[in-house]
Amino acid sequence: MDEFEEKMNELDQMSDENKTTTMNQMKSDCICPICPTYNECAKKDDELLFCVTGKSKNCITKERGCMCPTCPFAQEYGIGVKYNFYCMRDTELEQR
């Protein structure tokens, strides 16, 4: 199991309150808002951290480049290079 899988398991086992706090910390490292694929709709709906939460619900429908390989969260957990475009293609774990 790699570091990302360990982190996802850790999240699964957290209480709802701890999970929310941890997800908010993770979201603060997410650089999707500066990506050309990100849009106003996603911003308005506060969609972030697609690598963990999965595809954009209704907002992102076209791939225009992906910044995930340069994201600090992705680099810390060794994701974002082999798989990315999480907002369109689903979570890291789903793409594996």
91 contacts ligand SF4 (rule: CB under 6 A): no
> Which of 4, 83, 87, 91 forms a contact with ligand SF4 (CB under 6 A)?
87
> Which of 4, 83, 84, 91 forms a contact with ligand SF4 (CB under 6 A)?
84
Q: What CA–CA distance (Å, rounded) separates 19 from 94?
A: 20
The CA-CA-CA angle for residues 83, 79, 17, to 5°, reads 115
What mask, x for binding ligand SF4 by CB under 6 A, covers residues 6 to 25?
Answer: --------------------
In the range 40-79, which residues lie near ligand SF4 by CB under 6 A? Answer: 49-51, 66-68, 71, 73-74
